[in-house]
Amino acid sequence: MLWLIIMEFISGSKKALISLSDKKDIAFLGNGLQDLGYTIVSTGGTASTLESAGVSVTKVEQLTCFPEMLDGRVKTLHPHIHGGILARRDQKHHMEALNKHGIGTFDVVVVNLYPFYDKVTSTGGIEFEDGIENIDIGGPAMIRAAAKNHKDVLVVVDSEDYPALLEFLKGNQDNQQFRRKLAWKAFQHVASYDSAVSEWLWKQTVGDKFPPNLTVPMSIQSFLRSGENPHQKAAFYVDKRLAEVNGGGIATAIQHHGKEMSYNNYLDADAAWNCVSEFRNPTCVIVKHTNPCGVASRDDILEAYRLAVKADPVSAFGGIVAFNTEVDEALASEIREFRSPTDGETRMFYEIVIAPKYTKKGLEILCGKSKTLRILEAQKNEKGKVSLRQVGGGWLAQDSNDLTPEDIQFNVVSENAPQESELSDAEFALLCVKHIKSTLVIAKPNRVESLRIALRKAGDEVKGAALASDAFFPFAWKDAVEEACESGNVIVEPGGSIRDGEAIDCCNKYGVSLLFTKVRHFRH
């Protein structure tokens, strides 16, 4: 009986090998191939599912004359399988070898892999041995073999490609580009799978955040209408590393309304969301060109929103507004109708609104503000991530800057100690400066000019303010420290300059509290 099956298999009929962990649309695939006259060979659970769908199946063990063994570790690793996949039809000696050993060829290979990614990222985690057992061996071997021999074998790893596969086979075509695209997708599928295994095993074995070799699997989310400028093409990819699972952030945000996101939208939204997520109290952050132009925290989120706009209404117009609280009916109405403080008449316009959640009515009101307004619902970024940044020919990797005022010791180095409210202002200012590009003003890496611009914009409201600096002050007298002392009550900086003593003396002269944190917050 087995010899009869083998002889039938090596006959001229078309053959497909199917082995699936994810059995989505398997009946559609199996019946479609069977209707096209394909003999179907399959493994274990896949064979049973196909048979239940009315598809005739030859089981792998009938073909190999060898039972599945080692708890399923060895099923398809056999010359009758891999020989039938890898043999080149245009090589006479390949075909002679197959005939000599009674091996038939496969024309189609449809395989997907053990759900390793889902298993190791499941709630509660997974035991090490269970993780090892979920590493697929036979599947990747068949996929790689078929992809390598794609000129003769069609390889499919994604159920979304089943309809295209069947249409291709119905047309009896010889489109090598179609075959190459499927082969590329197959190798990419295996590469992403292997990167997950590698990442997980490194964490289980060493755990250091910076392994000697790093692979970052990414999956395209969308093609963007342009890049940073209209002449640049662009796309948006989601980071598929295990470390990013349930990690929050803009990449996984839900867009409820508005135009499609642009390249610059993503950058600005990321900056706004990262900033507002730092604050514990109800907070509004408004960003323009990736930098906060207005930040306010209050018990009343409506007041926080108004103050954030008031900080710089010119920059806020056309900006990105982010909240760390739910947007309800009252807040949505305020966003929709609020007038610019510059003239009291112009309704504020925004590109994006971001929040952790929306009430049904709040979302309805916001959607009515503008057809183009992008409304995003995002989860807070988890701490402890590795931040990657590209430079020409390489990547920089570093720990994310997760330090908050609660993690920092504020050391009073001046004679005058800050009041509780002043210390609170200093902590707030330090959180803000953490998210602002260092000494940010066009053509103004000059700290003094940057300070003067800030003082001018603040006007009379600068009296009694707190100043936070991302780095130490190299000079004090007739420099930024002295000019700040003439207006504010408290200065917070890392310290560490050889002229720290001058900064202390200057603050003592003006009765200003000076706090050293020993923490720098550069942002470039």
Question: With the C-alpha atoms ordered 403, 409, 411, 417, is the resulting torsion angle positive or negative?
Answer: positive
Please give the biggest Cα pair distance in the chain: 102
Task: Decide: residue 152, CB within 10 A, 0-12 exposed, 13-18 middle, 19+ buried.
Answer: middle
Cβ proximity of 110 and 20 under 8 Å? yes
Q: Any residues with CB less than 8 A from the CB of 90 and at least 6 apart, and which?
A: none
The string of DSSP letters for 47-102 reads HHHHHHTT---EEHHHHHTS--BTTTTBSS-SHHHHHHHH--TT-HHHHHHHHHHT
Residue 204 Cα distances to 32, 125, 128, 208, 388, angstroms: 43, 12, 8, 10, 22
Instruction: Output the CA torsion 164→170→171→177 (10° steps).
Output: 40
Radius of gyration, alpha carbons of the chain: 31
Distance of CA 307 to the CA centre of its chain: 31
CA distance 331 to 369: 13
Identify which of 233, 337, 328, 325 has the alpha carbon closest to the alpha carbon of residue 284. 325
Question: Residue 393 — left, alpha, or beta (φ > 0 → left; ψ -120 to 50 → alpha)?
Answer: left
CA distance 315 to 434: 19
Task: Decide: residue 398, CB within 10 A, 0-12 exposed, 13-18 middle, 19+ buried.
Answer: exposed
Residue 251 Cα distances to 32, 179, 279, 378, angstroms: 37, 32, 20, 9
Q: Any residues with CB less than 8 A from the CB of 201 and at least 6 apart, and which?
A: none
Considering the candidates 14, 23, 94, 148, report the single residue annotated as catalytic.
148
Buried-state track 276-299, b at ≥16 Cβ within 10 A, e below 16 = bbbbeebbbbbbbebbbbbbbbbe
Buried-state track 24-39, b at ≥16 Cβ within 10 A, e below 16 = eebeebbebbbeeebb
CA distance 463 to 489: 8
Cβ proximity of 162 and 29 under 8 Å? yes
CB atoms within 10 A of CB 414: 22
Catalytic annotation on 150? no
Considering the candidates 23, 181, 256, 289, report the single residue annotated as catalytic.
289
Catalytic annotation on 148? yes
Take residue 297 and report the two structure tokens written for it: 């925290």
| Phi, psi (degrees; rounded to nearest 5) at 92 | -55, -45
Cβ proximity of 466 and 485 under 8 Å? no
CA distance 413 to 512: 11
Residues designated as active site: 148, 289
